[in-house]
Structure 1
Amino acid sequence: MKPYADRFPVALRQLVTDVLVVLWVYLWIRVALWINDVVERLAVPGQKLESAGSGIADNLADAGGKVGRVPVVGDDLTRPFTGAADAARAIADAGHEQQEIVGRLALILPLVAVAVPLALVLFLWLPLRLRWMRRAGIAAAVRDDAAGRDLLALRALAGRPLSELTRLGPDIAQSWRAGDAAAVEALAELELRALGLRVRRR
């Protein structure tokens, strides 16, 4: 496979496009990381809620344990502390649940943000780039052989627009069928130029 064209304008365009694609991917990866950071900051209130709830629940449970030692009325005095400790644990659980939801969002949202740009690169740009590299590599390998020039001429006849073919003459297809060397050369050169490859005069 041939990574870049021989002709300067085409090679420069390919190089600039490749650099822009790499920058495009890098930019979206940075955006995904930024989204991850922003979303993870939303977990801070949940962490504080969990920490505060757990601390209050532990303190209330301690206080309830101490009050429970009071003779006769200890059990009655413990109930409000136990209820408050349970409420504080519920607050801590809510904070923990919020952190889990934020953690899932911090994973999903960056993936969604980077998936579409990467899909455009992988399914649109990359196949076209690889197809050109394969075609250009084959064309560069056969351009010096007589049989290869015939194949390039046939490829030009089959694939180039009619407007380009008619510039070579109204009877270019007939001349190629007749084996006219000048017609074969002109068609082969047309295909090579379309691929951005240097035409080697024979």
Structure 2
Amino acid sequence: MSGSLRANVGKKDAKALRKQGMVPCVLYGGKEQIQFAIPQLQMSKFVVTPEAATVKIDLGERQVEAVLHDLQLHPVTDAFLHADFLEIVPGKPVTISVPVVFLGSSEGVKAGGKLTRKMRKVKVRGLAEDLPQNIEINIEKLNIGDSVRVGDLRSDKLSFLDNENMTIVSVKMSRNVEETPAATTAAPAAAAAAPAAAKTDAKAPAKK
């Protein structure tokens, strides 16, 4: 993203920037705080990109790599009011929310179950150079009744900060399967045919 340094700061200046289609921003975490502004359109593209965890910001005189730390939205229009970015400093731990990506097709879904996605992002902490663009979770062996929780995730370089009991994804019996006798008998058979372990990107066991 391309940003422009702010000559003035304050509520009046921020309001004027918004009228011009700009988002007032602040970058901190480095040696000094930097006040700048980014076009609303660029911010929109970054926010809606599910794989985006870090971003490079061109401030003219310097380029920085950062993570979005906080974003304030208008309560009615959802327009961006203000954004806080945290500069990534090599060797310094960073806390960010990383998108979750599912790999494979669930055995439980093939048997008629319904895949329910509970979390789209997980909060992690680690060195800047170790931050992933996303967390991959293999759901191929998830059967009906299985789930993957935060506590199932494993990484040698990251700490997962969400409650370990929070469910990321689960497979439940769909209503159609429950109402069809033939389907309900097929579901346990499918569950018995495959191991009930859910693989994440670090081969974590699933919890039921």
**TM score, norm. by length of structure 2:** 0.21
Comparing both structures, which one devotes a greater share of its residues to strand?
A: 2
User: Larger radius of gyration, structure 1 or 2?
Assistant: 1
**TM score, norm. by length of structure 1:** 0.21
Q: Which has the higher contact order (CA 8 A, sep 6+)?
A: 1
